[in-house]
Structure 1
Amino acid sequence: MKKSPVLSVFLAMMMVSSLWAASASAATAIKTKTQSVQLKFDGKSLTLPEGQYAFIHEGRTYVPIRYISYALQKTVNWDGATASVSEPTEKELAALKKHLQTAASGTQKPQTSIEITIQPVQAKLVFDGKAAVLPAGQSLYGYKGSIYAPIRFLSESAGSQIGYDPATKTVSGESAAYRAEQGGGGIILPSNGGGSTGGSGNSGGTGQPVKPSYEQITAGAESQLASLKNSCQATLMDIGMQYLAASAADQPKIKEKGLQEVNNCSSRFESIMTDTSAKLAGNGYSTDIIATYRTAFNKELEAGRQIAENMG
């Protein structure tokens, strides 16, 4: 049986998806400097273990999810796609308390600030069985196998109150249980929602919109590209199946349908690029990444179109 030209186009689109992923990876790798942030949870001062750090990015303090589970006294499970934060069993709670005691021992010296490269991570967050969505402009990041999240988002999603002292760079958290033990008091939050730890809003406490970062704009573009990729792949696969099942007389029409869909995908791609380019230029950022996206897409898309046209 002759190979379907539409399926060939579909395979080309699969190659495009890998190039999109590669270019997205290169575009969104971020260099940042670690910060000597003080962590104090339920009255205990904590020290991050060797090889794990805190860093401030886009005005928000990020910490490793699994480590902060000690402070929150929660169990964290990670399956490569979803981080689940939940109430621990009695055995798990005993282990968490032991880890917390070690983290609060104060035997480690404050870590020197270093430059690290973090990578945006696409993952779901589930707290006590309920999915939680990061506010606009916030992300998860990966570094050497650890997933980092905004500490305010983590803590408040797990039921802890968070405060921040910019003078001492101290992040303080109090769980509901600890507040009850202390007579129902609590941390008084700054009027701007937490200063540099970053609340879920995006006005920075001034009431004025915050200029989007380069990473936010490109991350938005890559999210749209991912949706486009999934849509085009699904449609082309369906057309390919139609082609294989069709009679010889009907196959040319289905082939044309496949080529039209390729053109449609290309048009949608260009629309995303136009919008992204305008956002980057409008905020004073380089638009060089647009050429990277377009070159990779057009090269493989044209290869797929040629295959389709040459296979009768």
Structure 2
Amino acid sequence: MKLRKWAMGLLAAGLLTAGLSAGSPREAYAESKQIEVSFSPVHFIFGGEELDPPEGQRAFLYKDSTYVPLRFASYALGKAVDWDPDTYTVTVREPKAEEKVSIDAYIEERKAGDRPILPVDASALQPITIDAYFEKVNYVFGKRTVQPPAELPGIIIDGSLYVPLRFVSESAGNKLEWDGETYAITGVSTAEGAKPYDEIVLEAEQAFQELVSGFTSEFYVLKSEYDGADDAGREEVLLQGARKLLEGQETFRSEILETLKAKLKAGNYYEGAVDQLAAQFEDKKQGVINLVTLFTGKDLTPYLEKAEKELEGK
């Protein structure tokens, strides 16, 4: 259904309340529906201090994920957050000096003080039904555009944007620890003086793109050789292409992926970017194989197997 003007006004006001600088929101479509959530006594521990979300903006569990107000999540991680109402884009980034002062003041106000963290009786948590809007929001962390899992989107409730805490934390490079007995979530501090997470990931992604671009160009050269060769020559060109693809794979794994893994580990960062980049490489590799089939009508897989045996024999 088309989002009514009163709802859009409420959204803009709520996003302002959440610490996002919103102007006049664009016309948009949002799906309004009732969802079941559980308001549970979740404890948020960052920098050794327990923090509470703002009054009236309680955290809740939805599909077994902890949702919190966006600004609370960002500030708890020491990040600044911007809102672009024209594109519905949230940007989470490193704060400027003056912004850090405001973030520190916000954190000071949110400190819960010294109180016991006790086991939670999960059986006593009763789900309740609330009204929520599901609006398409773009999320940028540093210079990287990411999205939460499709089944765990951002949710607008009473005009405020709530997001899965784990999505925000891991997208910013921070690890979380969950205590299922006490419902305590602890943010793991990064190594002091560590290189910014965003820079580490971007460097790896750039090296990956350069590698892919390089061996893709080589495959186009091989295509020309393949077109001009006889049957025997074509067999050799296909085998040569398989060797180059395996060489690229080895370079990716031993240099790019291992370097990324080592830098993330040294910074005590969340290491999910390693698996994500590995999956991207496998997609590109399959794309090259499909391209060879398209150009030649031949499956490259048997040639890859033969090239692998050659490498094993060395």
TM range (shorter): 0.3 to 0.5
Structure number with higher relative contact order (C-alpha < 8 Å, ≥ 6 residues apart): 1
TM-score (norm 2): 0.46
TM-score (norm 1): 0.47
